[in-house]
Amino acid sequence: MNQQGILVVVSGFSGAGKGTLMKELLRRYDNYALSISATTRKPREGEENGREYFFLSEEEFKKLRDEHKLVEYAKYVNHYYGTPREYVEEKMAQGKDVILEIEIQGALKVKKRYPDALLLFITPPSAKELKRRLVGRGTESLEVINARLKRAAEEADGMEAYDYLLINDDIDQCVEKMHQLIQLQHEKTSYHLDFLGKMREDLYHLDDRD
Amino acid sequence: MNQQGILVVVSGFSGAGKGTLMKELLRRYDNYALSISATTRKPREGEENGREYFFLSEEEFKKLRDEHKLVEYAKYVNHYYGTPREYVEEKMAQGKDVILEIEIQGALKVKKRYPDALLLFITPPSAKELKRRLVGRGTESLEVINARLKRAAEEADGMEAYDYLLINDDIDQCVEKMHQLIQLQHEKTSYHLDFLGKMREDLYHLDDRD
């Protein structure tokens, strides 16, 4: 049976370690495909088209959107970001579990369109620990970090709608838990309605030769 | 943190091996408590009050029901069956994951009352295999077994509402999968709303000393 893949949406507080988690998950298991977003923002140094993002002109992006070829999209700070549908559905049909790493508002749109999508929210063990990690990166001033944490709190609207919360305390354990959660999702009844229907049909029609 | 236990409802086709699964799960792990039903039917040979069932008079049963001390109840073939609430809630409060092995209609009532309950449906790999197992027991005639299978099909209304389907092909794997499923249920966002609320609160209020 070539089972359909699961759609997994991963969000979380910036600094929760999502990037590292994703990288490690993909390194350890080969049944995952990471969706690549499209964006109208310009590539930063070191970024490559088709790796970090698909870099599109605003015209190209709006064409995709208008042709309903985006699973979800949103505008942040004058730039569009969106998830191209084709890659996602192609990989799922191949039996790959497809991971979207997107913001909460986009995630909620995905859930509406794909009710079986699994929504995972990654969080550090505490606000203090999150701050410690951001400070540890050494790329931003304390002022910028504080503003960012406040914004994170503000942007957390809707996190209660996620299916599972993963506390990223230990990267190794967190990866394994994420993998287990996604794999067990394959046992959801909604994926096995055909099996159940056939089972029921067969129970009626077994005869003495069976 | 003394985390609240999960309420787990297990149902399945008769002959799917639920009894053996439960016994094995409880033998391997000590974080489970198996709820004992109350019934107004008479004890059969070898059955003990408080072990297989709590055997009650109809009057005692109706008293429990009228005092809302049953999680769910139903009448089958002139006898009442029900799940006493006290044991379930006490064990959950102690952090035990409580397992109810009940019929589908009762399970759906439990889900209404406890939306976080995890509903697991156990099925053999096929109708033929189910029949083979029932015949193998050697306790019933082929005629009785065929009638039973038809009834099983009829009584399967509502199985689509279960959260997960467990195909009991290999008892060992099935026990482990059930255990994983229940344990991961503890990560459901709905169990961590306090944590999320506090996290958000803290993100707002971190200051430069943090």
Helix (H) or strand (E) holding A34: strand A32-34
- What is the tens place of the pLDDT at every residue in B74-107? 998 899 999 999 999 999 999 999 999 999 999 9
pLDDT for B1 = 45
pLDDT range class, residue B210, cuts 50, 70, 90: low
A163 contacts B130? CB cut-off 8 A = no
Check CB contact of A179 with chain B, cutoff 8 Å: no
- What is the tens place of the pLDDT at every residue in B126-175? 999 989 988 888 888 888 888 888 888 887 889 999 999 999 999 999 99
- What is the tens place of the pLDDT at every residue in A16-57? 889 899 999 999 999 999 999 999 999 999 999 998 899 999
In sequence order, the 6+-apart residues with CB closer than 8 A to the CB of A175 are A21, A24, A25, A28
Check CB contact of B135 with chain A, cutoff 8 Å: no
pLDDT range class, residue A210, cuts 50, 70, 90: low
pLDDT for A1 = 45
pLDDT for B139 = 86
Average pLDDT over residues A3-21: 91
ipTM of the modeled complex = 0.86
Lowest mean pLDDT among A34-38, A198-202, B153-157, B199-203: B153-157
In sequence order, the 6+-apart residues with CB closer than 8 A to the CB of B135 are B142, B145
Residue of A nearest to B147 (CA): A204
The per-residue pLDDT of chain B, averaged, comes to 92
pLDDT for A204 = 85
Q: With pLDDT > 70 as the criterion, what percentage of chain B qualifies? A: 98
- What is the tens place of the pLDDT at every residue in A126-152? 999 989 988 888 888 888 888 888 888
Which residues 5-44 of chain B have a CB within 8 Å of chain A? 13
DSSP A41-102: SPPPTT--BTTTBEE--HHHHHHHHHTT-EEEEEEETTEEEEEEHHHHHHHHHTTPEEEEE-
pLDDT for B112 = 93
Check CB contact of A181 with chain B, cutoff 8 Å: yes
In sequence order, the 6+-apart residues with CB closer than 8 A to the CB of B64 are B38, B56, B70, B82, B84
pLDDT range class, residue A209, cuts 50, 70, 90: low
Partners of B199 on chain A (C-beta within 8 Å) are: 13, 123, 126-127, 156
A204 contacts B153? CB cut-off 8 A = yes
pLDDT range class, residue B208, cuts 50, 70, 90: low
A196 contacts B159? CB cut-off 8 A = yes
**Residue B53 DSSP class:** E
Check CB contact of B176 with chain A, cutoff 8 Å: no
pLDDT range class, residue A85, cuts 50, 70, 90: very high
SS3 label, residue A124: coil
pLDDT for B209 = 65
Structure tokens at B63: 């008293």
A121 contacts B149? CB cut-off 8 A = no
pLDDT for B14 = 79
Picking from A146, A180, A199, the nearest residue to B184 by CB comes out as A180
Check CB contact of B199 with chain A, cutoff 8 Å: yes
Partners of A200 on chain B (C-beta within 8 Å) are: 153, 156
Picking from A128, A156, A189, the nearest residue to B164 by CB comes out as A189
**Residue A31 DSSP class:** S
Residue of B nearest to A129 (CA): B210
pLDDT for A2 = 56
Helix (H) or strand (E) holding B39: strand B37-39
- Which of A126, A149, A199 best tests the B interface by mutation, with the highest count of B CBs <10 A? A199
- What is the tens place of the pLDDT at every residue in A28-39? 999 999 999 999
A177 contacts B184? CB cut-off 8 A = yes
- Which of A157, A165, A190, A201 best tests the B interface by mutation, with the highest count of B CBs <10 A? A165
Average pLDDT over residues A178-187: 96
Q: Was A46 annotated as part of a binding site?
A: no
A188 contacts B163? CB cut-off 8 A = yes
Q: Which domains does chain A have, with CATH numbers?
A: 7-205 (3.40.50.300)
Partners of A10 on chain B (C-beta within 8 Å) are: none
